[in-house]
């Protein structure tokens, strides 16, 4: 399996929780190796522009933002939230020219369910960012945990969708251990730019589900570039989990896990849930750190049936994404309806 490292473009990436951008504030962040400056205007609109001054290349984030325009710290050129230059202070009468011809790149952004999504690509967005089911567009997550994984994005994505690592990596008294391994059969099928583990009852060996009360039903969706949405229904209550994987650089990936819930008691248990979430995510990160030791020697890797089938689909989806764009045709989902079996 020799997969070249490439990043997908013309697609929505999770950027950051919207609460991090107060009105009149700006924040620099690297995504897909690109320097991006995010900000929120006085009017409440979020924007994202390339964090490089077109004049002499200094990051615009080194300057200041007054809630309407970003001013470069070097020669004071100003830019609107659309990346268009609005003023060049050094010009004297007679030197006027159309400063709006000077631009730094604007990235389309959308704020949905409390999160800022950024469209990384050349064109304009041709669809909406992903959202969790059941909860309204203006309803942010109850819990957000982010962690940096020092690896290429593919390893973070595959690690998160891997069904066989649970009993070894997430060993814990409150979750499960090697002795709880048993055979599983789950139905999968194609879903928008990805696949879905169809609605099913989660394994009874996960003690964490028991505290929810009732018999839960779960559906898990994955879609490019690295978005996993888990929808759990327990009687009248709903829990949604959104995991997003955003490449920062070739060797740095940000994994963010967010939870929405309808149970009031869960708010009281938030510090505890946060601790579990951090521990869980940390276990996934730590194993990826160890994996890097070996990957440095560029070994060939294996994907076996059926436990690694989702990883195989991920690579196939990625390749198809690129090919469909190159050939200017519709995306053809390579995933078929199938039941996968494994022990975990």
284 binds, among ligand FES, Fe ion, none (CB under 5 to 8 A by kind): Fe ion
Q: How far is the CB of 79 from ligand FES (least distance, A)?
A: 9
Q: Report what 116 binds from Fe ion, ligand FES, none; CB cut-off 5-8 Å by kind.
A: none
Q: Is there a contact between 108 and 124 (Cβ–Cβ < 8 Å)?
A: yes
Residues that bind ligand FES (CB under 6 A): 53, 55-56, 58, 72, 74-75, 77
Distance in Å, CB of 75 to ligand FES, minimum: 3
Least CB distance to ligand FES at residue 121 (A): 26
Length of the chain: 344
Closer to Fe ion by Cβ: residue 61 or 283 = 283
Least distance between ligand FES and beta carbon 104 (Å): 10
- What does the alpha-carbon distance between residue 162 and residue 77 come to, in Å, rounded to a whole number? 49
Cα separation of 197 and 341, whole Å? Answer: 12
Dist CA 231 CA 203 (whole Å): 15
List the single partner that 74 binds among ligand FES, Fe ion, none, CB under 5 to 8 Å by kind.
Answer: ligand FES
Nearest distance from C-beta of residue 71 to Fe ion, angstroms: 44
Q: In this structure, what token pair is assigned to residue 291? A: 């994996």
Residues 93, 273: Cα–Cα separation, whole Å? 62
Which residue's CB comes closest to Fe ion?
284
- Choose between 230 and 284: whose C-beta lies nearer to Fe ion: 284
With CA atoms as reference, report the closest residue to 313 among 150, 199, 189: 189
The SS3 call for residue 115 is strand
Nearer to ligand FES, 59 or 249 (CB): 59
**Nearest approach, Cβ of 88 to ligand FES (angstroms)?**
8
Based on CB atoms, which residue is closest to Fe ion, 280 or 331? 280
Q: Which does 56 bind (CB under 5 to 8 A by kind): Fe ion, ligand FES, none?
A: ligand FES
User: Given the complex with ligand FES, which of 75 and 199 has the nearer CB atom?
Assistant: 75
Q: What b/e sequence results for 201-235 when a residue is b if at least 16 CB atoms lie within 10 Å of its CB, and e otherwise?
A: ebeebeeebeebeeebebbbbbbbbbbbbbbbbbe
> Which stretches of the chain bind Fe ion, using CB under 5 A?
284
* CA gap 237, 233 in Å, rounded: 6
């Amino acid at each position: 399996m020799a997969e070249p490292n490439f990043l997908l473009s013309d697609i929505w990436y999770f950027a950051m929780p919207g609460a991090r951008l107060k009105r009149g504030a700006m924040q620099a962040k690297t995504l897909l190796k690109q320097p991006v400056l995010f900000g929120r205007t006085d009017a409440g609109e979020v924007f994202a522009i390339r964090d490089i001054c077109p004049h002499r290349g200094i990051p615009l984030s080194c300057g200041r933002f007054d809630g309407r325009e970003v001013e470069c710290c070097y020669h004071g050129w100003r830019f609107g939230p659309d990346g268009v230059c609005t003023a060049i202070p050094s010009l004297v009468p007679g030197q006027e020219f159309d400063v709006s011809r000077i631009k730094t790149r604007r990235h389309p952004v959308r704020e949905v369910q409390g999160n800022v999504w950024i469209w990384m690509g050349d064109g304009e967005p041709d669809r909406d960012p992903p959202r969790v089911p059941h909860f309204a567009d203006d309803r942010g997550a109850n819990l957000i945990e982010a962690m940096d994984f020092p690896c290429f994005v593919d390893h973070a994505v595959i690690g998160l969708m891997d069904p066989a690592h649970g009993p070894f990596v997430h060993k814990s008294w409150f979750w499960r251990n090697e002795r709880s391994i048993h055979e599983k059969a789950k139905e999968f099928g194609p879903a928008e730019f990805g696949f879905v583990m169809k609605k099913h009852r989660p394994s009874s060996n996960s003690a964490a589900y028991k505290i929810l009360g009732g018999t839960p039903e779960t559906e898990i969706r994955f879609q490019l570039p690295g978005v996993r949405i888990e929808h759990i229904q327990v009687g009248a209550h709903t829990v949604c989990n959104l995991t997003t994987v955003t490449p920062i650089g070739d060797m740095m990936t940000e994994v963010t896990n967010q939870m929405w819930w309808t149970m009031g008691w869960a708010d009281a248990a938030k510090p505890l849930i946060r601790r579990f979430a951090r521990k869980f995510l940390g276990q996934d990160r730590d194993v990826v750190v160890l994996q890097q030791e070996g990957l440095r020697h560029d070994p060939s890797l294996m994907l076996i049936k059926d436990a690694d089938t989702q990883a195989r689909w991920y690579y196939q989806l990625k390749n198809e994404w690129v090919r469909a764009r190159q050939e200017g045709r519709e995306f053809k989902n390579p995933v078929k309806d199938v039941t996968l079996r494994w022990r975990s």
